[in-house]
Amino acid sequence: MKTMTEIVVPQLAESLVSATIDKWLKQPGDWIDVYEPVCEIITDKVNAELPSTVAGKLVSILVEKGETVPVGTAICIIETEGSADDAGIGAAESQPIASGEASASQVNEIDLQDAPMRNRFSPAVQQLAVEHAIRLTDVPGTGLGGRITRKDVLAFVAAGGGKGNQTSSGNTAVPAARTVDAAAQVRSSGLHLTETPRFPKIEVEGASGAGRGDSFIDVTPIRNTIARNMRQSVSEIPHAWTMIEVDVTNLVLLRNKLKDDFMKREGINLTYLAFLLKAVVNAIKDVPIMNSMWAVDKIIVKRDINIALAVGTEDSVLTPVIKNADHKNVAGLAKEIEELARKTREGKLTLSDMQGGTFTVNNTGSFGSILSYPIINYPQAAILTFESIVKRPVVINDMIAVRSMANLCLSLDHRILDGVICGRFLQRVKDNLESFNLESKLY
């Protein structure tokens, strides 16, 4: 039997209330497979592709490109063919659970409690299926009721399924999906690797004076969110600023010694940022109030250390998060940095990637900066920038020597933090960075 199924804007996060249709990838009359992207949506945090929850023919588009609609709004209708049970499952999955609403026809067609778990997939599983171009019907499920888990998908890919392993053979040390085109890298010191961001769309309005017109750029949801957060940060948080100078000569020697072997082993670049994050995380362990936020009548000191990385593109600044950074070694942090940088370049960051940050680090040195005054990532207590490594003459034991030096700049919330505490924190970061030597290990 034929069934009409509505595809709706899903509840991706508690804070998400609306989304904008950026581009339709399918048109009426096109056939759509399960999990195949139907359109691209823009939220106030990330851009994402919206996959279809059913297989069928796109009958009609209900929301045009550029329109902003609330979560739970139906944006298109897909005609499916199958048994009443299959149709009921597909229709039920297309509706957001958070809305608490279901049509009478869906209730009559299927009892959700009796639905086989095999046909229910989490957003993370669907995302992996899209990334590796696999059909979930081919993946054996080991979860409750035969449900397919992330581990099942990853095991299926590792066994040779999907596009991720088609170019590899045997147990190679460098996964094909992580191979980095070294020739395309812009710099080797930070997150700004191969990147082709979308440029802001400029519309020329009329002409004035000598025939020259003003240019207008539409404010995107992400840019509007950045503006709102920055205004909130500077208006609510009393910013203070301090800086410390670090001798990273031994760190430069260590990285030069290890980077080639690390590239061969892991297939990714070993950046200075990985060492900095390790130094910062260890310093936060010693000064835990740096990992806190203001809550009017109390200060909340966060137990988990989740480092947010400020990643800039041509039209936005995103802050993907390394969760539980204190549980990772330098190699693990380097892998996380590369993974988040890749997802940022490809526009594949999820809301989960963007949430939960407790302390922000910005690698401003990757574009040549030697001094900066960053704005705190609200509602965190501080943000640290790592500036360019520059060879400078310094005095050591009353003698002049040429050393590789870098500045660390810290903006702090003066309601929570004072100069003494931040001075100790920066000194601890400095000591941690300067303690790296040719015997230091990555793993």
Give the count of beta carbons closer than 10 Å to the beta carbon of residue 367: 13
> At which residue do the structure tokens 């048994």 appear?
83
Torsion from C-alpha of 251, 253, 255, 256, nearest 10 degrees? 160
Tokens matching residue 268 = 């990714």
Phi and psi angles of residue 263, each rounded to the nearest 5 degrees, phi first: -65, -45
Q: Is 351 helix (H, G, I), strand (E, B) or coil?
A: helix
Catalytic residue among 85, 315, 326, 414: 414
Give the integer Cα–Cα distance in Å for 436 and 443.
Answer: 14
- Return the DSSP state at 342: H
- Helix (H) or strand (E) run with residue 227 in it: helix 221-236
Q: Can 30 be counted among the known catalytic residues?
A: no
DSSP secondary structure letters along 154-166: HHHHHTT-SGGGT
Surface-to-core class of residue 177, CB atoms within 10 Å of its CB (0-12 exposed, 13-18 middle, 19+ buried): middle
Which of 30, 261, 304, 418 is an active site residue?
418
Q: Which two tokens stand for residue 226?
A: 């950045």
Residue 418 designated active-site: yes
Burial class (CB in 10 A: 0-12, 13-18, 19+), 70: exposed
User: In the block, which residue shows the tokens 């000591």?
Assistant: 431
Integer Cα distance of 14 and 379 in angstroms: 17
Give the Å distances, CA to CA, from 120 to 9, 56, 150, 253. 18, 18, 13, 51
| Distance between CA atoms of residues 352 and 305, nearest Å | 16
Catalytic residues: 414, 418
